[in-house]
Chain A
Amino acid sequence: MISGNPYVPQPAELIEVIDETPTIKTLVLKPATPMPFRAGQFVQLTLPGVGEAPFTPSSSPLEPNRIEVTILKTGAVTDRLHECKAGQTLGLRGPFGKGYPIEKLAGKDVLVVGGGVGLAPLRALILALLADLGKIKRMSIKYGARCTEELLFRKQHESWTKGAKVDMAVTIDRPQAGWSGHTGVVTTLLTGMDIDKSNAMVFVCGPTIMLRFVVVTLVGEQFRSDQIYLSMNRRMSCGMGLCGRCNIGPYYLCKDGPDMNYAKIENYPNVF
């Protein structure tokens, strides 16, 4: 059992606000006491008096004193979080959930598939794997956004792919002036990949509709469902498996996820 009152957030100072895209900001937070987390675990970020929303930090788990949360402006709480200024005090609860099964990735081909702001939680995985690249066989990142302005962490992509073990492909939905790269939705990057499928694990994060079509494509490419992890960041509230809001069948995404092995949930309706 974890002590203290798990409903009460600890204070966290907002030390920096980074404008990532026209709709996405990264809030850099310094929790009053360090909050060690595993890549893929999530926190509940409180805007005092307004409410809280669940986010998987986008920063490296090696820095528990400096937690970055990358936020798409998309609702009552996130609209207000976008108005926050450095120096403000916010609140953090957590970390919650299991986190990415990094221990299972030794010797594997790791395929990371992100859509839009979905690259944010995956960055914690990417940074964790980059910090210990010797363990995995290789990492292939596939990322799609609506347009060039919405490409997240664009300046960092190059630093991620410096080593021979890591490659990255980026696409935007439609052709755009000044863009000579790939166009089309992210699933168009997933066919005919040069990857050892039998030895691969796939991590997917993005909007629900993207998750759905990525799964269809991956299954069509002969990936097994137990090789696929989906970020199911649904309406998680308490984070502790008590409030009941985030279930898929017998699983609570806050406790058993938020990244769920697709084999566990594929037979339940309303997954997507």
Chain B
Amino acid sequence: MTAKHISNASLAGVFDRLRGTSVLGPISTEGLSWLHRVEAASAPSGSIVEALRRPRAAQSAKGSLLAASEPVGRYGRDAPAATATETAALVLLGVRACELRALGYLDKVMLGGDFDDPTYRARREATTLVACDCAECAETCFCTLVGGRPFATEGFDVNLTPLKEGWLVEAAGEKGAKLLEASQLADAAPAQLAERDKLRAEITERVRSQNAKYGFSADDGNQPQLPEGNDDGWGRFAADCVECGACTNICPTCHCFYLYDHTPSPETFERVRTWDSCLFGTYHRMAGGVNMKLSPRPNLLSRLANRVLHKFTYSPQQYGLLGCVGCGRCIDACLGAIDIRDVVQELSK
């Protein structure tokens, strides 16, 4: 489908009209771009347009599809019969290429096996993805080291490319094409398409050059060779880890969870799925008595190794996809200043 063009003012107008619906998008706050419920935020639509030109948001959109903690089912004598609940439509605004790749990964995990996560499926199907090329990158962005690029050509409904004057708008898939058709926007000029290509080449080169010192290059079909979790090499990094779980919380692909039950009323029981972290000592905790090993990974070193190996070694074997998309959020979030690029570079030597 032909690319379209929209001005800054018109785009702000589109966001104004979206305020009646559920939109999660970036808003600039203290130099960072944060994801907010746009309909609840007081920020003017112009500041959303501005935030789209900033680097990827500080937090991932994962939580809007896989909530930090939510009921996934009810049972018991007085539990209401299971009915298909209406899931509110959601627009994810300003999603970056790394995030789209992460969503592709989550889709494979949550929907690609013998069992579906019904809550995830309902949310995913009710979500419209409005992606956006990266006009800027964070210092920690490293998508190019893991086979990504700072712009997407698929996996979204609509994609925006920030130009010097206004925005280029493109659609992928049926839903996006319909949206774009309804917009009645003017076709983009050939010079605007050329500008898009030039900007994309420039930002890709910027991400590449800021990561040039890292001597590895991975993609879904080509992984760095990392040692298993009994290698002492992990020790240097484990020594800096404080087991806070920030990296797993902020990671757009980390999806491990814990299930627990509670009792809202005497004969109604609710099962809750809540984020968990494989770095926590309690994560693999098993039942057992005295003299029994209660965790297969009692050492932090092996837990940290397991997390990184899951990203770079196990996920490609399980899903044919790397579990790291190079968003760099874990580097920003780490209290122990662990940089996953250093970990991979040093241990894959």
Q: Do A and B bind each other?
A: yes
- Contact partner of B113 (CB less than 8 A), chosen from A76, A237, A241, A247, is A241
Q: Do A242 and B109 have beta carbons less than 8 Å apart? A: yes
Closest residue of chain B to A89, judged by CB? B77
Q: Do A48 and B259 have beta carbons less than 8 Å apart? A: no
Give the CA-CA distance A243 to B310 in the complex, in Å: 13
Can you sample 21 A-B contacts with CB below 8 Å?
Answer: A6-B116, A7-B259, A7-B273, A8-B74, A8-B75, A8-B82, A46-B75, A48-B263, A49-B261, A76-B287, A78-B287, A208-B292, A235-B286, A238-B259, A243-B256, A245-B258, A245-B276, A249-B228, A268-B228, A269-B228, A270-B229
User: Within A1-24, which residues are at the interface with B (CB < 8 Å)?
Assistant: 1-2, 5-9, 11
Q: Smallest Cβ distance from B138 to chain A, in angstroms?
A: 27
The number of chain A residues touching the other chain, given as a range, is: 35 or more
Majority SS of interface residues in chain A?
loop
B46-54, B202-210, B313-321, B325-333 - interface stretch: B313-321
- Residues of A bordering B, CB below 8 Å: 1-2, 5-9, 11, 46, 48-53, 74-78, 89, 91, 207-209, 234-235, 237-238, 240-250, 252, 255, 267-272
Cβ–Cβ < 8 Å partners of A50 in chain B: 261
Cβ–Cβ < 8 Å partners of B34 in chain A: none
B296 at the interface (CB under 8 A from A): yes
Q: Do A243 and B115 have beta carbons less than 8 Å apart? A: no
Give the CA-CA distance A271 to B306 in the complex, in Å: 13
Closest residue of chain A to B307, judged by CB? A244
Give the CA-CA distance A2 to B297 in the complex, in Å: 32
Give the CA-CA distance A96 to B116 in the complex, in Å: 14
Q: Do A270 and B259 have beta carbons less than 8 Å apart? A: no
Q: Given the interface contacts A8-B73, A8-B271, A74-B287, does A242 sit within 8 Å of B228 by beta carbon?
A: no
User: Within B71-110, which residues are at the interface with A (CB < 8 Å)?
Assistant: 72-77, 82, 109-110
Q: Smallest Cβ distance from B303 to chain A, in angstroms?
A: 10
- Residues of B bordering A, CB below 8 Å: 72-77, 82, 109-110, 113-118, 228-230, 255-263, 269, 271, 273, 276, 278, 283-289, 292-293, 296-297, 302, 306, 309-310, 313-315, 317-318
Most buried by A among B115, B276, B292: B115
Cβ–Cβ < 8 Å partners of B263 in chain A: 48-49
Beyond A49-B261, A242-B109, 17 additional contacts (C-beta under 8 Å) are A6-B116, A7-B271, A8-B74, A8-B271, A49-B263, A51-B261, A75-B288, A77-B287, A78-B287, A235-B284, A235-B285, A242-B115, A244-B257, A246-B284, A247-B314, A269-B228, A272-B293
Q: Given the interface contacts A242-B257, A270-B229, does A1 sit within 8 Å of B116 by beta carbon?
A: yes
Cβ–Cβ < 8 Å partners of A46 in chain B: 75, 261
Give the CA-CA distance A246 to B97 in the complex, in Å: 30
Cβ–Cβ < 8 Å partners of A76 in chain B: 287
Give the CA-CA distance A248 to B228 in the complex, in Å: 11
